[in-house]
Structure 1
Amino acid sequence: MRTAARLTAVVAAGLVGGCAWLPEPPPPVPTSVVPSVAAAPPLAAAGTQLSPDGFDAAQRMAVRIRNIGCGGLSTGSGFALDEHTLVTNRHVVADSAELQLSTYDGRELAAEATSTAGLADLAVVRTVDPLPAAPQLADADPQVGDAVTVVGYPLGRQLTVTDGRIMGAVTDPLHANLGEVLVTDAPVEPGSSGSAALDAEGRVIGVVYAKNADDMSFLVPVSTLRAMLGDDTAFEPAPTCG
């Protein structure tokens, strides 16, 4: 498939900032921190590929992430892996002094420890407080044409669900992952980095980490996620900015 040369990681610089197309540098980030607020009511399940039960499970496992770094504030998304572990992107938690986590119902969670993978744009965050629900990981990567639903917090705002199809696989154009990544036409925005990509049964088939100028989204495949989680040496404690 044709892949645009210009890509960007979809993490938002500030709550209202955008992200620059690589290789241009990102815009300046604010130096002040915007206080957390309760999440807006989640979108209804109508119009998505998920069943009502699948939608309820998806919104309960999605987590909004605010990365308070020494240079400012950025936002991303994540999803529960188990009661006290969530998955997101390495670049979402990079250079962090503090991570603020919140659920679809506005509940704040305390982060305990963060680890990042060396061979994929993945990170795991341990939480002090229990996460509402965790999804099932798919046994295998999806095929071209399979349905995909992305659940996350674009721009650090309300929970959003977008649908699309798997368009193919390509060697990671950002060189952030080892091997191939998946391409989907499911729309994402800055702040969607770390969102779960689900199949029609609500199982995780990938993790959003980037998009290109043609609005194609890129996913770390579930096979890579499973391989990283099964390797005791894959994750190391994340460095902080201060």
Structure 2
Amino acid sequence: MTRHSRPARCVLVAGGTAVLTALTGCAALPDPPPPVPTSVVPTVAPAPAAAADGTQLSPDGFDAAQRMAVRIRNIGCGALSTGSGFALDEHTLVTNRHVVADSAELQLSTYDGRDVAAEAASTAGLADLAVVRTVDALPAAPVLAEADPQVGDAVTVVGYPLGRQLTVTDGRVVGAVTDPLNENLGEVLVTDAPVEPGSSGSAALDAQGQVIGVVYAKNADGMSFLVPVSTLRAMLGDDAAFAPAPTCG
């Protein structure tokens, strides 16, 4: 998908009773946004066979963003799907739980076409988050923002929709709702930054290029959903938050 400026488009992925899509979608929300989305599911795209052409990030910010983004192919037992992720440090990346679960093999690649060997994946029980340890070094890691963004703040999503080329899409935080897929999680952020299937696990960045959330779903109305950075920080700081990811074998 090439970059969209407005309005945002989203993709649904089966896997939940509510009609929400795990990924990030976009579409202007009414004011205020609906308390509960009409449709919610995790976002995983069938593997396929669009590049960024503009963003509210500075040129340096875009260069840093593309270097930390990772494309993920989940080779399952008889199935193949794609998602996105981003480096947390030299040998660790963050993505969604539904992107890495039920895999026989995870194939990772960077913006410059380099393959990165995955060593082990762990998934969180509370939020749709996962961490993957890598054998090979990742090109670069972003800074995690200290606080969640406010309504109206700029957001840029960096990932690999449909498993294709790196895509950067811009939007704004339009509200917050109780997570429709993980009710015990609490509030998640709603944005209007465009996304497609395969964007699950993408980093959502602020105007300074810091991570303010992780894309995990969108709904039929084009609203995209982010696990906020405060939740990501809390999960990463809890030794008991992650367990070995389930495999298809």
**Does the alignment reach a TM-score above 0.5?**
yes
Aligned to 1:54: 61
Structure scoring higher RCO (CA < 8 A, sep ≥ 6) equals 2
What is the identity, as a one-letter code, of the residue corresponding to 2:48? L
Hey, which bits of structure 1, 4+ residues long, moved more than 2 A? Answer: 13-16
Task: Please list the CA deviations of residues 8-42 of structure 1 after superposition, one character each: whole Å capped at 9, or x if unmatched.
Answer: 222102327xxxxxxxxxxxxxxxxxxxxxxx7x5
| Equivalent pair of 1:121/1:176 in contact (CA under 8 Å) | no
- d(CA) in 1 for partners of 2:43, 2:206: 21
Aligned to 2:44: 11
Aligned to 1:199: 206
How far did 1:196 drift? 0.1
Aligned to 1:104: 111
Aligned to 1:175: 182
Moved more, 207-216 or 168-177: 168-177
Relative to structure 1, the CA distance from residue 75 to residue 177 in structure 2 (aligned partners, 3 Å threshold; closer, same or farther) is: farther
Aligned to 2:94: 87
| Equivalent pair of 2:127/2:182 in contact (CA under 8 Å) | no
**Pairwise CA RMSD:** 1.3
The partner residue of 1:43 within 52, 60, 81 is: 52
What is the TM-score of this pair, normalised by structure 2?
0.84
How far did 1:176 drift? 6.5
- d(CA) in 2 for partners of 1:76, 1:176: 23
- d(CA) in 2 for partners of 1:43, 1:121: 26
1:1-242 counterparts in 2 under 5 A? Answer: 1-2=33-34, 3-15=36-48, 42-44=51-53, 47-175=54-182, 178-242=185-249
Secondary structure at the counterpart of residue 197 of structure 1: strand
**Structure 1, unpaired ranges of 5+:** 17-39
**Structure 2, unpaired ranges of 5+:** 1-32
What is the identity, as a one-letter code, of the residue corresponding to 1:70? C
Relative to structure 1, the CA distance from residue 176 to residue 151 in structure 2 (aligned partners, 3 Å threshold; closer, same or farther) is: farther
| Equivalent pair of 1:150/1:163 in contact (CA under 8 Å) | yes
Q: Report how many residues are paired.
A: 216
| Equivalent pair of 2:72/2:84 in contact (CA under 8 Å) | yes
What is the identity, as a one-letter code, of the residue corresponding to 1:223? S
